[in-house]
Copies of this chain bind each other. A is one copy, B any other.
Amino acid sequence: MPRNQQILLDNRPAGEAVAGNFKLVSNETPALQDGQVLVRHHFLSLDPYMRGRMNDSKSYAAPQPLGQVMQGGTVGEVVESRSPKFQPGDKVVGMGGWQQYSVVNAGQPGALRKVDTTHVPLSHYLGAVGMPGVTAWYGLVKIIEPQAGQTVVVSAATGAVGSAFAALAKARGCRAVGIAGGPDKCKYAVEELGFDACIDYKLHNDAASLSAALEGACPKGIDGYFENVGGMVLDAVLPRMNDFGRIALCGMIAGYDGKPLPLSHPALILTARLKLQGFIVSEHMEVWPEALKELGTLVGTGKLRPRESVAQGIEAAPEAFLGLLKGKNFGKQLVKLI
């Protein structure tokens, strides 16, 4: 059996996550038992939610266990199978974790799914046509529920979730406004992703300044907001929300390093009769088929052209992940393993 390089969570962050929290090890892949398949990972997905799980605190998911392989989404190819459900050569998406190979019990529901790479590149099943895309779909369609002509806003606009959000919002006749960090990302958001406008939050030192910029970009106010960031950005958006606006809370990455970030004016939720709702997309598996179908069509027809930041080799995963947390990625952050 092949050697398998793996990255473990070695210790938990004290404040900001650092490379020393992780540890690279090498093991033999175990021999397969009946019903198991061996998957060679082509790409590993890096996602902001992983930072939350590195803390040993209450969150929507159990903490990432210490000393074990970092959990995460993977796409790859079946290289050996002792299950009738999979053949060597099958392209599959799963939760293989930060390692080169994984052994999967093929009978476990949802553990491994065959995908078609005719119209959609394999890596996109970790992004636009995967968990991040469905995340955007759920927040927009099920929580924000926009009507044509309404204005919707998303933070981390050029990330995997934000990219899909733009295409989904435009398909519904909405004005889509992004918030991103830096002129390159904002240019890309408008020119490539279809946002009607994009605001560079790095040009603003406080919530009031960012809020004024939002007012300019959203002359009719904001009807729906998809939150990936929290902190100052949420404070800036809240006063711009129209009455009966909806806010989908998907990520609060700004607070993951341990400094709790307050919401400055919660009374606005009352005065504007807003709805705020937190969600995690893996708890809504019933929407995945419908969402993936729409997302696959958007990618297949060129209406959603997601960009990817690709780090090379398993040993590059920790630094790529820490960069993602600082917004250094441009689009979906992946690690290419072959």
Contacts and interface: CB of A to CB of B under 8 A. Distances in A.
Contacts of A230: 266-267
Given A255-B267, A267-B252, A267-B255, A273 B278 contact: yes
A280 interface: yes
Interface string A244-285: 000001111001000011111111011111111111100100
Q: Is the interface of A mostly helix, strand, loop or mixed?
A: loop
9 contacts: A58-B271, A230-B267, A234-B266, A249-B270, A252-B267, A252-B270, A262-B263, A273-B283, A274-B277
B252 A260 contact: no
Interface of A: 52, 58-60, 230, 234, 243, 249-252, 255, 260-267, 269-280, 283
Given A262-B265, A264-B262, A272 B234 contact: no
Nearest to A239: B58
Given A262-B262, A262-B264, A278 B283 contact: no
Chain B CB within 10 Å — which of A255, A271, A279 has the most? Answer: A271
Nearest to A256: B267
A266 B252 contact: yes
| Max chain B C-beta neighbours (<10 A), residue from A58, A255, A265, A270 | A270
Given A271-B278, A275-B278, A276-B277, 10 more contacts: A59-B271, A60-B273, A252-B266, A261-B267, A262-B264, A269-B277, A273-B277, A273-B279, A275-B275, A276-B276
